[in-house]
Structures are given as C-alpha cells and as structure tokens.
Amino acid sequence: MIINKNMFGEIIRDDLVGLGIPYKGNKSGILKKLIYTMPKCEHFLDACCGGGFVGYGMFALDRAKKITMNDVYKPLIDLHKAILNRDVDFENLEWCSRERFKLALHQIENGRYKIEDVVYKYVYSFGNNGKTYIYAKEIEPVKKIKHDIIFGKTSKERRLALNRLTSEVLKDNQIESLERLERLERLERLERHKDKFHFMSEDLFKIDYTPYDLVYFDIPYEDTDKYEVDFGHKRFWEFFMDLKVKAFASSYKAPDFVPCIKEIEKRSSYSPINNKLKTIEKIYSNLG
C-alpha cells in the first residue's frame, strides 16, 4: 500500500484513491474536492453509494474510521461485496457479446442472476448506464478480437487473435470494456481492509440513521435518464432537511430552502454531443 500525508498531516492511501465500480454519474472526477468538503467522522454512511467512489474515498483519504455503503439496488451491493471478498474470477471472465449482455439484464431483472451478470451489466454498458450494450454492431467483432488478445487462456489463443488484427483495427485504441474490468479488479486491493466496510441494500427513507455521525447522499439527478429505481426528489429534500445527523448531498439543483455550501466544476464524460462539457456540481448540507 502507498501511504503519504497531505499538508495537514492526514493519511492518503494513494493506490486506493479513485477506486469504484464503473457507474453512471460517479464522482471520480471531483472526488477529493467533494470529500474534503465534508468533515472527518467516526462512522460514515454513503446512503446512495452507486459505484462506491465516495465511500471508498473516505477510507483512502483517512476521513472515516468505519464506512457503511448502502444502495437500494441489491445487485450492485452484491457486486461490491463479491469483489472485496475476491469472489469474482476476473482471469476467466468470458467475453460479453450483445446477446450475453441481454441475457445478463434478463437474469438480473428476474432475480436469478450470478455475479458475472452484474459485472457484464456495468462493464459492457454504454456510459455505464447498465441498460444498453456498449458497442455498435459494426465494431463489436473488433472489440472481441482485442478481448481475446488480452484474455486468451493460452499463448496460442492470444497469437491467433493477434493474427486476426488488421491495420484498421490497430487504429482503434478505445478498449472501454477492458479498462473497466481492470478498474473493477483494482477494487480487490481493499480486501485486507474489508472489515472497515459494511454493505446493505435499504430504502434510504427507511434507514435508521442514529449509528452514523455523517451521511452523504449522491441522489439521481433530476431531468436526466432514469437510474435503477424511481426517485422522489421533493420528498427527499424535505427528508434531508429534517435529518438529525449531519448530512451532505450533491446534485445540480435543489429547492431554495436547502443550503448550497459549495459549487464544483466538473466535466461530463458521457455527453452525447461533447464529452468535455462543463457542468456545476452543487454540494448541499442540512445544517447550512
């Protein structure tokens, strides 16, 4: 583990900063600015953890002694737990074709999924949306060749795949799914610290918040594509302001009665028009 300290003498586990499951709307691009907006605490609850970047970041940056990660979408929580327990066989994970991707979504929807189905859902979905397959039909064979080159079980398999590569393929250096698999696998670095993390899948309105001294909500953005579950924003903000524990939330907008304490500029990685589009992430606090 690589351990350094910042200017205030706080521990930074450099090799653990930025770990998380590829997930739509994750906070990896503004992670440190967001985390240092919140105070240090004993027990931190990431109430809508998604890919877990904030919860894992709180540990990596030594901002919490214990971290609880919650998400109402149970398959996602199952994936977090499986990776930290090294229950995902990354070395032997098969290529996910368009048909296999559709099957994975079907299995998850019917509650009969295996953990590799959840891996496929996020690694092989466009913009990490967990809904649509990552590759257009015309380039899917190219991506399959690249997968075979890297993950071929024998040197012969890898060599045969390499021989199928053409000059046209060599020009295409976008290997999204492979990069996402590598990011997932890096989460295994947290195995030795898994006693610091607790995972649960509860409706955020039904959680008992008394054990926590700091809570963070990364809620679905309004007026954007739907996430895994429907979300009532008006109800949430009223609930947020009534919480007795110190809480923070991030969003693009909130009602006037919710104090905004910070604005952070970020780039939108998956804008359909411009992937360098700048947006403003606002950080809100229930205690002002």
Q: Domain 3-72+202-285 adopts which CATH fold? A: Rossmann fold (3.40.50)
Least confident of 154-168, 197-211, 240-254: 154-168
- Output the average pLDDT for the chain: 84
pLDDT at 22: 86
H or E segment to which residue 66 belongs: strand 64-70
pLDDT at 228: 60
Q: Closest Cα to residue 165, out of 151, 150, 147, 146? A: 146
Burial 23-52 (b: 16+ CB within 10 A, else e): bbbbbbbbbeebbebbebbebbbbbbbbbb
CA geometry: angle 55, 235, 230, nearest 5 deg: 70
Q: 226 falls in which pLDDT band (50, 70, 90)?
A: low
> What DSSP string runs through 117-129?
HHHHHHHTBGGG-
pLDDT at 286 over 90: yes
Share of residues in the chain with pLDDT > 90 (%):
57
As a whole number of angstroms, the distance between CA 196 and CA 189 comes to: 13
pLDDT at 184: 87
Least confident of 8-12, 130-134, 152-156, 241-245: 8-12
77: buried, middle or exposed (CB in 10 Å: 19+, 13-18, 0-12)?
Answer: buried
pLDDT at 75: 97
Name the residue ranges covered by the structural domains of the chain.
Answer: 3-72+202-285, 84-186
Amino acid at 13: R
As a whole number of angstroms, the distance between CA 134 and CA 120 comes to: 10
pLDDT at 70 over 90: yes
Q: 172 falls in which pLDDT band (50, 70, 90)?
A: very low
Q: How far lies 235's CA from each of 45, 183, 194, 205, 255, in Å?
A: 20, 35, 33, 9, 11
Half-sphere exposure (Cβ direction) of 161: Cα atoms closer than 13 Å: 18
- Residue 30 DSSP symbol: G
pLDDT at 238: 97
pLDDT at 128: 84
Q: Closest Cα to residue 131, out of 287, 270, 274, 236? A: 270
pLDDT at 193 over 70: yes
CA torsion through residues 210, 216, 222, 226, sign: negative
DSSP 3-state of 235: helix
pLDDT at 197 over 90: yes
As a whole number of angstroms, the distance between CA 34 and CA 29 comes to: 10
pLDDT at 199 over 70: yes
pLDDT at 8: 45
As a whole number of angstroms, the distance between CA 279 and CA 264 comes to: 8
Q: pTM of the predicted model, to two decimals?
A: 0.81
